[in-house]
Amino acid sequence: MTDLASLAREQDLRFLLVSFTDLFGMQRAKLVPASAIAAMAADGAGFAGFAAWLDLSPADGDVMAIPDPSSLMRLPWQPEVGWVAAELTLNGEPMEQCPRRLLRRQQQRAAELGYQLRSGVEAEFFLLLGDGSAIADPADTQEKPCYDQLALMRRYPLIADLLTGMEQLGWGPYQADHEDANGQFELNWTYADALSTADRHGFFKVMVKTLAEAQGMRASFMPKPFGALTGNGCHTHLSLWDHEGRNAFHDPSGPLGLSPLAYHFLGGLIAHAPALCCLTNPTVNSYRRLAAPPTTSGATWSPAGVSYTGNNRTHMVRIPDGQRLELRLPDGSAHPYLLQAAVLAAGLDGVQRQLDPGPRHDNDNYANPLAAGTCTPLPASLGEALDAFAADGVLRSALGEPFCQSYERLRRRQWTAHRSEVTGWESRTGLDG
């Protein structure tokens, strides 16, 4: 592997952002001159871990972020600056709560079984006024705004810059559209191995926010910023590939063109879905998107229970073709690395135990929902998701108890803080009661 200093010289970079993603999905970084990157690459960039969302105290020593040269990407909007993903150590030892390292551990588990997870994400976002109070385009008012060409092209300067940036980075972008909510957009790029997808997912969110800000807007991946509008999903497409480069999910003779392996992986997603919500839908606001009432467009496009189907967007897992699964559970707040790690851990459990996903349901689950008791309900709040996560010993064992305890501790603190808040709705409806 070429060292980071050599890569910086070859690409004529003046500075590098040595970046890690904390447990809440926030990217933290130090800007390092290229002249100093050789030492930083060897020893790491030092951070006070308590100052980020890590389960540490002010008394802990420096967290060292060790950059991975293979992840280096030039900032398309600031081409003299490179971005490089880093993994964390503490006192010379790898940190168990490091999200990127957690994903690599799950990748190793898959490799030992003879597989590689390849994935893609659909990271929806809103474009808002700079203060976040409303959507930025006052003309974007259609009742059904999805694929609205005029609204899409009014945002051409930003969308074109994003697509061009992804082309320069070699991601293979192939489309952009206006999504189902007013002010909501999605850009798609080619699937890749799970680690590359996670690196790109995190970088994409920063790129969208930075370029939107430069044009006087605020980009938000918040799951449900407006009660009446469709929320931000992060639908995730999944397939396992063998060491010969063949898609092990594909079987023309199987139901809907999928192999037994694919259905076992699906069985793992079904079995662990309530606990997965803690990672795929990690915020208080996430549960305003799941099982939500219809939006102004007529549908939420989010699941209400644990079920799967064919090419039907009203269930938790869709089988769009004989190549992949689409998990429709995750939302815009999903952590780029923890999303991939948790889904892979759940799926591998299904593969190893040959879990049966149960019957497929092809009903319109919005207009004609499954009868009560037919499928497991999804958690109705972050608190319920945390309880499901605490009870799922198999998933916790796969992810590692040190990570699980750290993550759960921080999220429970957040849930407790939310429960102590008195909302405006409560005041409006209760002060004179």
With 60 as the cut, is the pLDDT of residue 32 above it?
A: yes
Give the model's pLDDT for residue 2. 72
Q: Going by C-beta distance under 8 Å and a sequence separation of 6 or more, which residues neighbour residue 127?
A: 135, 136, 137, 155, 158, 183, 184, 185, 212, 217, 218, 219
227 SS3 class: coil
Mean per-residue pLDDT, 262-267: 98
- pLDDT, tens digit, for every residue of 169-181? 999 999 999 999 9
pLDDT digits (tens, 9 = 90+) for 209-241: 999 999 999 999 999 999 999 999 999 999 999
User: pLDDT grade, residue 89 (50/70/90)?
Assistant: very high
Q: Give the pLDDT of residue 227.
A: 95
Q: Are 181 and 295 in contact (CB under 8 A)?
A: yes
Q: Whose structure tokens read 């064919």?
A: 310
pLDDT, tens only, 313-355: 999 999 999 999 999 999 999 999 999 999 999 999 999 999 9
| Average per-residue pLDDT for the chain | 97
Phi-psi region of 301 (alpha: psi -120 to 50; beta: other; left: phi over 0): left
Residues 367-406 as b/e (b if ≥16 CB within 10 A, e otherwise) read eebeeeeebeebbebbbbbbbbbeebebbbebbbeebbeb
Cβ atoms of residues 37 and 4 within 8 Å: yes
Mean pLDDT of 404-416: 98
Q: Over 90: is that where the pLDDT of 357 sits?
A: yes
- Rounded CA separation 121/281 (Å): 14
Query: Which of 284, 318, 292, 308 minimizes the C-alpha distance to 231?
Result: 292
Q: Is the pTM of this model over 0.75?
A: yes
DSSP E strands, 194-347: 217-220, 234-242, 305-306, 308-309, 317-321, 324-327
Q: Which of 121, 27, 11 is nearest to 69 (CA)?
A: 11
Euclidean distance between CA atoms 331 and 316, whole angstroms: 12
Tell whether the model's pLDDT for residue 1 goes beyond 70. no
Quick one: which of 126, 173, 131, 172 has its CA closest to 151? 126
Quick one: tokens of 259? 């192999």
Judged against a pLDDT cut of 80, whether residue 385 lies above it is answered with: yes
The residue ranges of DSSP E strands in 107-233, in sequence order, are 115-123, 125-129, 173-178, 184-189, 192-193, 217-220
pLDDT (tens digit per residue) in 162-205: 999 999 999 999 999 999 999 999 999 999 999 999 999 999 99
Confidence of residue 285 (pLDDT cuts 50, 70, 90): very high
Give the domains, in start order, of the chain with CATH numbers: 12-95 (3.10.20.70), 105-427 (3.30.590.10)
DSSP H or E segment with residue 84: strand 78-90
Q: What pLDDT, on a 0 to 100 scale, did the predictor assign at position 433?
A: 84
- Between the alpha carbon of residue 136 and those of residues 152, 176, 213, 420, the distances in Å are 12, 18, 12, 32
pLDDT at residue 291 in the model: 85
Q: How far is CA 380 from CA 198, 287, 327, in A?
A: 27, 6, 18
